[in-house]
Amino acid sequence: MKKTVSVLVVLLLVIGIVPMFAAGAKEGTDAGKIKLRFLGMAQAAYSEKNVNDMTDDFMKANPNITVSTEFVPYEELRNKTMLAYGSNNPYDAVLVDDIWYAEYASKGMLYDITAKVPASYKEGVLAGAWNVTTKQGKVLGLPWFLDTMYLFYNADMLKKAGYTNPPKSIEEMVDMARTLKAKKIVEYPFVFSLAQAEALICVYANFLEAFGGSFQDASGNYILDTSGVKALEFLVSLKNEGLLNPNSLEYLEEDVRRVFSSGDAAFTLNWAYMFALATDPAESTIAKEAVKVMVLPGAKGVKDFAAMSGSMGLSVLNQSKNPEAALQYILHLSSKKVQDAYSDLQLPVWTASYDDPKLAVGREQLVEASKKAFSIMNVRPSEPNYQEASAIIQQYVQRALYGEITPKQALSDAVKKVKEIK
């Protein structure tokens, strides 16, 4: 009997605690207020805190609108958006990766803002950025950030090996890596985010660019089995030579950053956000001056530089009950004022922002690199089936990296599979 009593006591306690939480969490439920839901991504830049701060400012300026923000990992972002879209509880505004625009557009999910974008945005935002959010002549979102995987390298390590200049080509970079390894300056000169995820495609896509290959031909057929082999052979050879950190196969961007920032790699590819964190002594143990960033050089005789876009936009969903308020909100998030204020981790999409010399202070090389990258940036395929095609390519690229099949075989199998789903 004693036991029963104690069980009941605990149950009662638990039940008693719940309303306390509920009470503590009660929010103002004023009628007449517009409520918006925004779905963003748990990432480093803009971080959840950044977005929440921006949102607070927006709510202060628009007291009749409340925005609740939700953040999910990149891997869940697309699924969540699509699942919620069909439900009773859709989001009003969402963050959209450039590769998803075609898919969302084909399903009619995105609110057409072609006629609603203020002229100041149309003219002020970098011209290339609008390509990300425009599908079939319709503007379906506001560019939020333009990004690519830049090449980061550790200049101290290079110096120790006798190199004072940055690599001018992929080949030169590999030579440097070989020397670094031979001189035991670093065990694995390269570390990349090659986990079975979109991050792998981003890395591969940049090298694909560098070797002059492309995903598709002009009519949209995947041609990686011919034009993509060199880039994959390159990655495989790095692994076989012991130049690539073998853990790369389970790494995403943040893991890569940790490795680079702890001085365990000489070269890596990562988004712009890494620059600020790699030079921040609280987040990095390598000397600030050693962190160098540049656009990935191309293969010798192919091209000088290569960049593949990993940009994102903000869009209003068609199911939103308050599309105008939602548009107002994303206009705020992507406004020049906000972007300039939070430019430390993410570079603005506004042309005029780059005129301000203050933007480049302390990170001249990043701003320099980004200007170059924005002008040459290519994009991953943007089509309704991309996500599935990408998943297939991820698997086969990994299999080649494990040495189960040759790069040639892997890519022709992958292309065959991708054709099957179409």
Partner 1 sequence: MSKKTARNQILLTVPMIVIMGAVIGWPLIRTILLSFTDAQLMDSGTSGFVGLANFRNAITNEGFLASLKISAIFAFVVVTSEMILGTAVALLVNEPFKGRNLLRAFLILPWAVPTVVNAIMWRLIYNPEYGALNSLLTQLGLIDSYISWLSSANMALGAIIFADVWKNFSLVALIALASLQTLSSAQVDAAKIDGANALQRFGYITLPHLIPSLQVALVLRIIEAVKVFDIIYIMTKGGPANRTRSGSIFVYQEAFTNSRMGSGATYAVIMVALIMIFILFYMRIITKKR
Partner 2 sequence: MRSRTNKTKTILLYTAAILLFVYIIAPFLWLIIMSVSSSEDLTTRPLRWIPKRINLSSYAELLTMGINSRGELFLHGLRNSLVTALLAVAISMVVTIPASWVFSRHPGKKNLILYAAIFTFMLPPVAYALPLYRILSQIGLLDKSFSLALVYCTIVLPFCVWLIKENIDAIPYELEEAAIIDGAGLFTQITKVVLPLLLPSLGTVALLSLIMAWDEYFYAMLFTNSKQAITLPVVIANLASGRQSNYNLIAAGGVLASLPPVIIGFLFQRSLIKGLAMGGVKE
Residue ranges binding partner 2 (CB under 8 A): 1, 3-4, 6-8, 10-11, 14-15, 17-18, 21-22, 24-25, 37, 39, 41-44, 48-49, 52, 55-56, 68-76, 80, 83-84, 86-89, 195, 197, 199, 252-255, 257-258, 262, 264, 283
Residues 251-270 that bind partner 1 (CB under 8 A): 251, 255, 258-259, 262, 264
**Taking CB within 5 to 8 Å according to partner kind, which of partner 2, partner 1, none is near residue 181?**
none
| Residue 131 or 284 with smaller CB distance to partner 2 | 284
As given in the structure block, the two tokens for residue 311 are: 């940009």
For 283, phi then psi, to 5°, come to: -110, -5
The residue within the footprint of partner 1, chosen from 38, 58, 85, 329 (CB under 8 A), is 85
Q: What are the E-state strand segments in 192-351?
A: 267-270, 291-294, 296-297, 305-306, 312-316
CA nearest 414: which of 399, 392, 398? 392
Query: What ranges make up the beta strands (E) of 27-83?
Result: 34-41, 65-72
4 binds, among partner 2, partner 1, none (CB under 5 to 8 A by kind): partner 2
Neighbours of 136 (CB within 10 A): 8
d(CA 200, CA 386): 14
Q: Which of 233, 372, 388, 409 binds partner 1 (CB under 8 A)?
A: 388
- Evaluate whether 407 touches 236 at the Cβ level (below 8 Å): yes
* Closer residue to partner 1, CB minimum distance, 195 or 367: 195
Does position 139 interact with partner 1 (CB under 8 A)? The reply is no
DSSP structure class, residue 404: S
Determine which residue in the list 62, 391, 408, 409 makes contact with partner 1, applying CB under 8 A: 391
How many residues comprise the chain?
Answer: 422
Q: Which residues, including other chains, have CB under 8 Å from residue 414's CB and lie 6 or more apart?
A: 222, 224, 225, 392, 393, 395, 396, 397
Q: Which of 195, 173, 200 is nearest to 310 (CA)?
A: 200
Q: Provide the b/e sequence for 151-182 (b: ≥16 CB within 10 Å).
A: bbbbbbbbeebebeebbebbeebbebbebbbe
**Pick from 64, 68, 114, 196: which binds partner 1 (CB under 8 A)?**
196
Q: Quote the least distance from Cβ 132 to partner 1, whole Å.
A: 22
Determine, following the binding rule CB under 8 A, whether residue 248 of this chain makes contact with partner 1: yes
The yes or no reply on residue 75 touching partner 1 (CB under 8 A) is yes
What are 45's two structure tokens? 């830049």
**First-residue to last-residue Cα distance in the chain:** 66
Which tokens in the block code for residue 83? 């699942």
Q: How far is the CB of 50 from partner 1 (least distance, A)?
A: 25
Residue 247 contacts partner 1 per CB under 8 A: yes
Q: Record the tokens describing residue 64, joined without a space.
A: 């009749």
Q: What residue 23 binds from partner 2, partner 1, none (CB within 5 to 8 A, per partner kind)?
A: none
Q: How far is the CB of 198 from partner 1 (least distance, A)?
A: 11
- The CB-of-264 to partner 1 minimum distance in angstroms stands at 7
For residue 201 the two structure tokens come to 């495609």
The answer to whether 383 contacts partner 1 (rule: CB under 8 A) is no
DSSP type of residue 43: S
Closer to partner 1 by CB, 376 or 405: give it: 405
Helix (H) or strand (E) holding 271: none
Residue 391 interacts with which of partner 2, partner 1, none, CB < 5 to 8 Å by class:
partner 1
- Binding window for partner 1 (CB under 8 A); candidates: 34-42, 315-323, 353-361, 390-398: 390-398
Task: Select the residue interacting with partner 1 from 160, 178, 336, 399 (CB under 8 A).
Answer: 399
Answer yes or no whether residue 220 interacts with partner 1 by CB under 8 A.
no
- Which entry of partner 2, partner 1, none binds 387, CB below 5 to 8 A by partner kind? partner 1
| C-alpha count within 13 angstroms, C-beta hemisphere, residue 78 | 16
Residue 305 DSSP symbol: E
* Separation CA 387–CA 383 (nearest Å): 9
DSSP 265: -
- Site size for partner 1 (CB under 8 A): 31
Task: Kindly list the residues in this chain that would bind partner 1 in the complex (CB under 8 A).
Answer: 75, 78-79, 82-83, 85-86, 107, 195-197, 246-251, 255, 258-259, 262, 264, 387-388, 391, 395, 398-399, 402, 404, 421
